[in-house]
């Protein structure tokens, strides 16, 4: 597999074309940002940690029957992924109240949400990823009704798998976001799953073990990511 030119550079990852038009290389960088890029920093080992973390989670989801774009690790910071026609909508599940949900609704952080909530957000940095509903998604052609139904079902399936996985390791999966794309007519999980895109708390102490450590200046960001990974059984270099 030959890595070629850069196709896209996001806030923390870059995508490269390969000599196979249906495969991309996903590079996890050490860049870290929050608040729509207002806070930026380079965190040593972050790219490696998130790459390994994502590979572990994607493999667990594949084993549980969730189709993903992940194909394998190429290097400490690179993975091979399938090319997807990405849908510009984030699917968010919340098991515990935190973050923007508390700010929007004035609810207290830490409430168990039964049943878990499901929300949709348009991926648009300029608009600060606004919340949207299913009607808007269909009306503007971002996804059709059948695709949305499949995205929702897969998002909840991911919750069933990962909520249990984290709980068994003494942690709470508070909330997370997923992105999906199309591949040969099927809906496939894309992007990444790492502590950058979810909230994880220690079950006993409620210690924050995710990107909120960076957002809130709590320190030990990558050390805590590695602790999460080790509890799950991930081996880091």
Residue 90 and residue 54 in one domain: no
Give the tens place of pLDDT for each residue, 135-164: 999 999 999 999 999 999 999 999 999 999
| CATH code, domain with 206 | 3.30.470.20
Residue 69 and residue 103 in one domain: no
Task: Give how many domains the chain has, as a whole number.
Answer: 2
Return the pLDDT at 66.
98
Return the pLDDT at 88.
98
Return the pLDDT at 196.
96
| CATH code, domain with 60 | 3.30.200.20
- Decide if 127 is inside a domain: yes
Residue 103 and residue 191 in one domain: yes
17, 4 Cβ separation under 8 angstroms: yes
- Decide if 228 is inside a domain: no
- Decide if 227 is inside a domain: no
Return the pLDDT at 3.
94
Residue 98 and residue 190 in one domain: yes
Residue 93's alpha-carbon distances to 19, 123, 203, in angstroms, are 36, 16, 18
pTM for the whole thing?
Answer: 0.96
Return the pLDDT at 26.
98
Boundary residue ending a domain (30, 59, 82)? 82
Residue 183's alpha-carbon distances to 5, 187, 203, in angstroms, are 22, 6, 37
**Mean pLDDT split into 10-residue runs, the chain, 237 residues:** 92 96 97 86 97 98 98 98 98 97 96 98 94 98 98 98 98 98 97 97 98 96 98 92
Residue 96 and residue 191 in one domain: yes
Residue 118 and residue 197 in one domain: yes
Domain span at 61: 3-82
Non-local CB neighbours of 60 within 8 Å, separated by 6+ positions: 161, 162, 165
């Amino acid at each position: 597999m030959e890595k070629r030119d850069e196709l896209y550079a996001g806030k923390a990852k870059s995508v490269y074309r390969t000599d196979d038009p249906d495969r991309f290389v996903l590079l996890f960088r050490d860049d870290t940002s929050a608040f729509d890029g207002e806070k930026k920093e380079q965190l040593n080992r972050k790219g490696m940690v998130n790459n390994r973390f994502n590979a572990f989670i994607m493999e667990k989801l594949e084993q549980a029957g969730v189709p993903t774009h992940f194909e394998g690790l190429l290097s400490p910071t690179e993975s091979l992924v399938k090319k997807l026609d990405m849908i510009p909508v984030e699917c968010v599940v919340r098991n515990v109240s935190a973050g923007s949900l508390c700010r929007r609704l004035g609810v207290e952080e830490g409430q168990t949400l039964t049943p878990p909530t499901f929300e949709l957000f348009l991926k648009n940095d300029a608009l600060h990823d606004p919340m949207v509903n299913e009607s808007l998604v269909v009306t503007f052609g971002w996804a059709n009704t059948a695709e949305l139904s499949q995205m929702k079902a897969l998002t909840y399936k991911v919750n069933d798998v990962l909520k249990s996985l984290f709980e068994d390791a003494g942690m709470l999966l508070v909330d997370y976001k997923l992105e999906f794309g199309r591949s040969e007519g099927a809906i496939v999980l894309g992007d990444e799953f790492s502590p950058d895109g979810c909230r994880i708390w220690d079950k006993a102490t409620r210690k924050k073990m995710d990107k909120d450590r960076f957002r809130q200046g709590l320190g030990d960001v990558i050390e805590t990511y590695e602790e999460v990974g080790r509890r799950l059984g991930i081996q880091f270099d």
